[in-house]
Amino acid sequence: MSKVMGAVNRKDGRAKVTGNATYAAEHQIPGLLHGYLVTASIGSGQIKSIDTSQAEKAKGVVAVFTHKNPPKIFKPSNNFISSKIYEARLPLSDAQVHYGGQIIGLVVADTFEQAKHAAHLVKVEYETQSPLTEFQKATFKEAPPFMGEELKFEKGNVATVNNAAVKIEATYTTTTELNAPMEPHAIIAQWQGADALTIYEPTQWVMGSQRTYAELFGLPAERVRIITPYLGGGFGSKAMPWPHGILCAAVARHLQRPVKVVLSRRQMTVNAGHRSETEQTIGLAAAADGKLMAIAHDVKSSTSPVDTFTEPCTRVTPVMYSAPNLRYAQELAIMNVGTPTFMRAPGENPGMWALESAMDELAWSLKLDPVELRLRNQTQEHQHQNLPFSAKHFTDCLKVGAERFGWKDRSRQVRSLLRDGQLVGWGMAGATFPALQGVATVKVRLLPDSTVHVLTAGNDMGTGAYTMVAGVAAETLGVSVEKVRVEMGDSQLPDGGMAGGSMMTASLAPAVIKACQDVLKSADCNDATDAWAALRQSGRAAFEATATSAPPEGEKKWAFQSWGAHFCEVTVDEEIGRLQITRWLSVMDIGRVMNAKTAASQVRGGVIMGIGQALMEECLLDPNIGYPVVYDLATYHFPSHADIPRIDVVFVGEPDLNFNLAGARGVGEIGITGVSAVIANAVYHATGKRIRSLPLTPEKLMADFRALTADETRDAQEMKELIASNKSHERVAGHSQNV
């Protein structure tokens, strides 16, 4: 197979841009009722009394549910194997309030407007307690394992490294971030009697949701049908049922009517997960030649009282750079906040912010090129697992990126570049994400009308899975992609695994290849053209085959990881704190690229999301109730077109056949890793200011964060004089040839 598949247009693109793609809340169900959530207005305490009488009398109201009359729900296993829910505490299970915005009731009415109006008529009295909402005041304890992986490790002894030429130690922080997908969280639950349930919900894990809802309502899994052909983004927040979905399904069963619940943007800030704020302290020790002697990485994050989720930042520490002495550990605090969860590159994203910022600081301290520092220290094995990587082209990412960006022309002094009266800076950082693969099953059918039908319950949350599956089937069978029809996102189809962890392509592609090969074998033909001829002669309805892929046998022999490098240019107007990104290059090693067009789009999407994190995304809490002060897509700031430059994406490397039959690793999440660090590194080059807290707001850009050296002070004064004399173009002429 080729290294890169051609740029195939999206199979689902036309349906989405014409409005023909039906999302969860858009299904038209006869007799549909509408639910609206009642949420807590305190951050901690108990419900003293709750009066629903006025709500129950309101026009159109069918029922009101609180902890006093909760619908029946069974406690699931909640173990990722048979079932998994985001919050271990079931909705309306008691009168306790654990965080502001917690669901404390549901009003059901004939229309959405009636339900919303009645929800505001519910009167609640509380016994309040002071909520813990400030990260700095929390009590931190050792974090539990993440998905079975220990978040602490040590080899050698970091504390005994005393002969290093350079040592640095710094603390880097991130704020709370919201997933904020374009499609809000929503669900329609429809029962057929009391023992069969159909769910329309944007879920990234169709079969996992089927098993979970089955356990929640005491049903065999085959009596639950999950329908999710399209998702409007998820980023990790739509993998499992949230309390609003569980409650909606329970109420629909109680009423024996279909019920729809759609979260408002305000409710999504609390009830649909977020990325926890983090505090990371990194210590690096290096010899004079730049070789690392020690790495220490300590992390703090927070979770809610109703479930445990640790932001696993230290997963990047043993895979990026080699050091004979290496230690990392994580701590977790319980705070009165909504439950944090997976968000694009959970752990790797904030982890790389800290690690790649620290590596840049080390490079400046050593007076060594940041690219060269990384080349000298990359590790060829996973230092925790003691396994070599199945394939690694991080060197190519760095060298190709440096050449294409013109890195050799980079000035070696801070505050040394100007353009149009603004400071100019260049930065770079590495990127990484583990290569994951799950179990996935696909059925392929050759039909008499010379078309191919591919069926799987695996789904596409916007990453291009429809297109990838069609392209793989077309290439394997030797037909045009237009002849392939793909059906996904229905639990009545073969189990296609989870659209999360960047594993959908790696899971589905090998299954599609094998199923197509088996179809041709069953027809005793070498290609689809001959198979179609044989099919028409046979009088059969179809030739079909089903195949399953699984994680590689070599997972005890190899460590699987993807790599990348980002390069960017920024301009900074210090007088008003305006930071603009003017140029961007990302070079990625993800094994075989299954579709160049959608893969590059995924990298760009990750970069854009990372730019938002770096420059503006920030969810602050009201300290009195712990409720976010942001409440919609206008108050929660994220990038617009004006904030984003042209993003150049290049792929390097070869198919990783040690990983799977297709040689493909995932691409959905690696693009965001390292993004915030490369921007902050470029800001340092431009201004001489090392900013270690995200986001990089105008206030931080205008602040004097540290005393400049004598040389830097002289440069700064000279820069002001240049700006004043409007001769800035002369200073940067030698460094702007490639800009």
Q: Report the catalytic residues.
A: 669
Region at 695 (left for phi over 0; alpha for psi -120 to 50; beta for the rest): beta
Q: Which tokens go with 278?
A: 């983090």
The CA distance from 674 to 681, in Å, is 10
- Do strands 278-286 and 292-303 pair parallel, antiparallel, or not at all (unpaired)? antiparallel
Contact 443, 703 (CB under 8 A): no
Q: Which tokens go with 637?
A: 């700031």
Query: Among residues 295, 292, 269, which one has the least CA distance to residue 280?
Result: 295
Q: In this structure, how many other beta carbons lie within 10 angstroms of the beta carbon of residue 146?
A: 18
CA dihedral 347, 360, 719, 713 (to 10 degrees): 110
Sign of CA dihedral 89, 95, 97, 101: positive
DSSP assignment letter at 559: B
Q: In this structure, how many other beta carbons lie within 10 angstroms of the beta carbon of residue 68?
A: 13
The CA distance from 361 to 344, in Å, is 26
The CA distance from 186 to 27, in Å, is 11
Contact 711, 727 (CB under 8 A): no
Quote the crossing angle between the two packed helices 675-687 and 596-615, to the nearest 10°. 50
CA distances (Å), origin 634, targets 175, 178, 578:
18, 13, 20
List all residues 6 or more positions away from 425 whose beta carbon is below 8 Å from its beta carbon. Answer: 414, 417, 569, 570, 571, 572, 682, 683, 684, 685, 686, 687
List all residues 6 or more positions away from 714 whose beta carbon is below 8 Å from its beta carbon. Answer: none
